[in-house]
Chains A and B, each alone.
Chain A
Amino acid sequence: MKRILFALLLSAGITSASMAQSAQYEGAMTKQIALLDDYNNFNPEKLQELANTFERIGAAEKTQWLPFYYAGYCNVMHAFLEKDQSKVDAIADKAAADISIADTLSPKNDEVYVVKSLIASSRISVDPQSRGRQYGMEAANWQSEAAKINSENPRVYILQGQSLFYTPEQFGGSKSEAKKKFEIALQKFGTFKPASSLAPHWGERQAQHLISQIK
């Protein structure tokens, strides 16, 4: 009897603690994601700070994949913005470490694969001649893996479009093909419903921006 009571007490305690945690989690995440959505924060210093915050939330929560997902996303965006090419690999490594935790917590997740694709792309700029082929292909592989899981995810089409957009035509890129991909992405945004208010929802603005650059 004592033992049952104790167990009940314990589980009640856990529940209330986790409910409190959950409210804190929602609040903190909502705030940070809002900061991330603010285009003014899209610079290396702010992205690193956001990544740090997401990592702290992830470390406290332990079971949520989203904080590590966002930490990885912030880090990879930082890698893209970094001007000193000798630092890019270390930042991409950090992003990869974050995203591999997210991958463990939430296996076979198309959003995680989207970031993996971004990480591969971010490494190309360090040495395009030597790396273009290897990492370009790795990025494409993650895009197709993500599409296999969820072909409705608009971010997959944004990545595909971006690859076509930034690759010179002679290397297999095409602005007109890129435009088609961005159009599909925008169309998917119309129907795409994020799983929750915290779930990934970035990309629509990027797609619109790039499409406006194609005549």
Chain B
Amino acid sequence: MWRKINLNLFALIFLPVCLMAQQKITGKITDSKKKPLPGVNIAIKDTYDGASSAADGTFSFTTDLKGEQIISVTLNGYRPFEQKINLNNPQVYNIVLKELISQLNVVTISAGSFEASDERKGTVLKPLDIVSTAGAGADIVNALKTLPGTQQTNDREGLFVRGGTGYETQTFIDGLLVRNPFYSGLPDMPGRGRFSPFLFKGTTFSSGGYSAQYGQGLSSALILESQDLPERSSSSVGVSVIGASVGVDELSKDKKGSYGVEADYTNLGPYLDVVKSKFKPSVNPEIIGTSANFRRKTSSTGMLKFYGYGNWTHMGTYHPSLEYPGYNELFELRNQNVYTNLTYKERLGKGWRISSGLSFSSNTDDIHTDTLEKTAPTKIKNLSSLTQARVMFTKSIGYYSSLRMGGEYQYGVENGAFNSYHANYTDNYSAVFAEGDIYLTPQLVGRVGGRVEHSSVLAKTNFAPRVSLAYKMDAYSQVSLAYGDYYQKPEQQYLRFKPNMDYMKATHYIASVQRITGNYTLRVEAFYKKYHNLVKTSPDTSNGGTGYAKGIELFWRDHKTFKNMDYWISYSYLDTKRNYLTYPYEVQPDFAAKHTFSVVYKYYVPSITTFFGATYSFSTGRPYYNPNLPVNKFMTQKTMDYNSLGLTVSYLTSIKKAFTVFVLSVSNIGNFKQVYGYRYSADKLRREEITPNIPRFVYVGMFMNFGIDRRQDVINNL
């Protein structure tokens, strides 16, 4: 190009100057790959004279102007081009425009993580996807179980990721750790997440290799980012076969602040009168929930947010005794949970930002059980509370690079009582972290960081380095690598009795390739994870456990091929073994399946304004412990394969002024038998299947909203 312009200059100097009243300017505009660019705006700067380029990139216009001028060439998505020109001669300009580096073609760190966000382009999921997954029941964790890396472990609490236990996944809201993200439930039941997906504008699920900002999760982090101000005030009412809810969200007149309150009441009694559960309830399962939020813009860039949540649960079952046939065992639970979170964000100028937060939460489980002995009920009481403060500073460097640093402090109280026996402890945990996202080019980014943690109950300090790398090959494809060390305190029930243990440790190695176009997403990821210092409880409690997990995962999503239809498919292959708790040596643990497969399907029929959704999940059988087998056959038997098909139909309409939606949702519609494992009696003679308490759930509900069209939310809520 320069040569061309130089030639023009030569022409200008050596050719006889012919003075014409009008000067003709012609040329051609191309991109850096010599592809012609149409619709380019070519102008003599700050004058009317100019033209738009045609389909073949050529342009031509005349001007009365003379002498030195500036030619300006602009096109959306390209770097504006300006050049001094002399108008005393006919001019030919062949100009190459450089593509502007927009957010879309800058690489982002992606190994191990699935992000759902409206704000960032090129994410794999939208926030709505999290909640519109049929059969997930508006539970974030249930929806995430359709993504690769997760296990269909529906008989215990938590998200089981890549050969890790539920405890190895931590939940964070606006950077702050949540001590009890799940409802306290009954034995053999999945824990349902406490927080509604509608509280969050962004959800990031990391199945490994995540940032140094977060700690105390060996396997996975669920990172939730709360909503900002609502678009307008509204109120809502919902009624279903299991309960009712009301809510108000009020946006202030100046549109700089808002508050909201919500209350819900759930009682499964009437439902269980009609549809019998496997175990007889000892009380009608009852949940009372309330929440309040307050948000205020403190400046054009500052935001203060408060969220508070209170919840009371009462439930219980009679369970036919395995030890004493003919007898029933009681398990009854009362739970109280309070969660509060106050955060503040502001820009400090010169590229600095601060985000800080305070949080207090407390959880009480009151359990009455005669499971253990055929005598008077045993009283178990667990009280945990967590108070924490966190601050993080971010500094932008250049166009894309940034540096993060911060610290956090947590004061945790863990009180446990077993009848009159108490085992309590407190922990002062503190951590500092620093991390840089360094863009070597817009297509190549490296993230280097580390985290130092100290826990007073362990009286030990650790250092966890984290490194990731991502390279964008073209506008749609990128490869990523990640490595990191992750530490986590042993579970409360072990620390309670043996405080001076060591951190458990996992080292992650991840490689992934992904391709995201407007029409489809394809992702393939391979990982290797090495466990050290896992907790052993036999022969005695120690950090002597070891293990590994490795596997390969696939994700495919297509929402354009078929009109009104969207689907995604996940497949995970997992090879994992561990020696922990009472295991005699490394074996595939009882929560891990080798193959897991999910399909999520969504279809909308505009003529009847009805959404149909289906989710199918499959996993191969999980090992279970049969005490009748010799020790060298430990965990060699497997349960049957797991199948589940959930269906949701929602119909949208208006009743008077209220936007209304009717919903029918059925879980496990095929009534597939689901066996999660077996439990043996102490004499090894009898065993029982561990199966869902309510194998198929039919949900019918109606939701009305005044002032704001939230029907979309409600449909997706199921």
Contact = CB atoms under 8 A, between A and B. Distances in A.
Same complex origin of A and B: yes
Interface of A: 24, 28, 45, 48-49, 52-53, 55-57, 59-60, 62, 85-86, 90-91, 93-94, 127, 129-134, 136-138, 168-172
Given A45-B55, A56-B43, A170-B653, A86 B518 contact: yes
A49 B659 contact: no
Contact of B38 (A45, A55, A170, A171): A45
A134 B232 CA distance: 10
B48 A57 contact: yes
A92 to B, nearest CB: 10
B47 A129 contact: no
A148 to B, nearest CB: 14
Contacts of A49: 39, 52
Give chain B's interface residue range (CB within 8 Å of chain A). Answer: 35 or more
B609 interface: yes
A154 B425 CA distance: 71
A52 B39 contact: yes
A172 B77 contact: no
Contact of A130 (B48, B128, B709, B711): B128
Given A48-B52, A49-B39, A127 B47 contact: no
Contacts of A172: 654, 659, 709
Contacts of A57: 48
Nearest to B609: A170
Interface string B642-661: 00000000001110000100
Contacts of A130: 118, 126-128
B231 interface: yes
Interface string B9-53: 000000000000000000000000000001111010111111110
B231 A137 contact: yes
Contact of B43 (A28, A59, A91, A132): A59
Interface in B38-74: 38-41, 43, 45-52, 55, 74
B461 to A, nearest CB: 44
Contact of B126 (A55, A85, A94, A127): A127
A85 B518 contact: yes
B710 to A, nearest CB: 8
Given A52-B50, A60-B48, 16 more contacts: A24-B48, A45-B39, A48-B52, A56-B50, A57-B48, A59-B45, A60-B46, A90-B77, A91-B76, A93-B76, A130-B126, A133-B709, A137-B708, A138-B231, A170-B609, A171-B654
B519 to A, nearest CB: 9
Contact of B231 (A48, A62, A94, A133): A133
A24 B64 CA distance: 13
Given A49-B39, A55-B41, A170-B654, A129 B606 contact: no
10 contacts: A28-B48, A52-B41, A52-B51, A55-B41, A90-B77, A94-B76, A129-B128, A129-B712, A132-B712, A172-B659
Q: Which 9 A-B pairs have the closest CB atoms?
A: A52-B41, A170-B609, A49-B52, A86-B518, A48-B39, A52-B52, A56-B43, A130-B126, A137-B231
A59 B128 contact: no
Contacts of A45: 38-39, 55
B712 A133 contact: yes
A132 B710 CA distance: 11
A60 B52 contact: no
Contact of B606 (A90, A133, A137, A168): A168
Nearest to A50: B52
B709 A136 contact: yes
Nearest to A55: B41
A49 B518 CA distance: 27
A53 B52 contact: yes
Nearest to A130: B126
B249 to A, nearest CB: 13
A56 B653 contact: no
A137 B232 contact: yes
Contacts of B39: 45, 48-49, 52
A32 to B, nearest CB: 10
Contacts of B48: 24, 28, 56-57, 60
B600 to A, nearest CB: 14
Interface in B290-333: none
A3 to B, nearest CB: 29
Nearest to A86: B518
A101 to B, nearest CB: 14
Contact of A171 (B41, B50, B55, B709): B709
A17 to B, nearest CB: 13
Interface in B368-421: none
A59 B127 CA distance: 40
B36 to A, nearest CB: 14
Nearest to B709: A133
Contacts of B46: 59-60, 62
Contacts of B652: 170-171
Contacts of A62: 46
A193 B410 CA distance: 67
A159 to B, nearest CB: 18
A56 B76 contact: no
B213 to A, nearest CB: 27
Interface string B601-624: 000101001000000000000000
A89 to B, nearest CB: 8
A93 B77 CA distance: 10
B279 to A, nearest CB: 40
B527 to A, nearest CB: 30
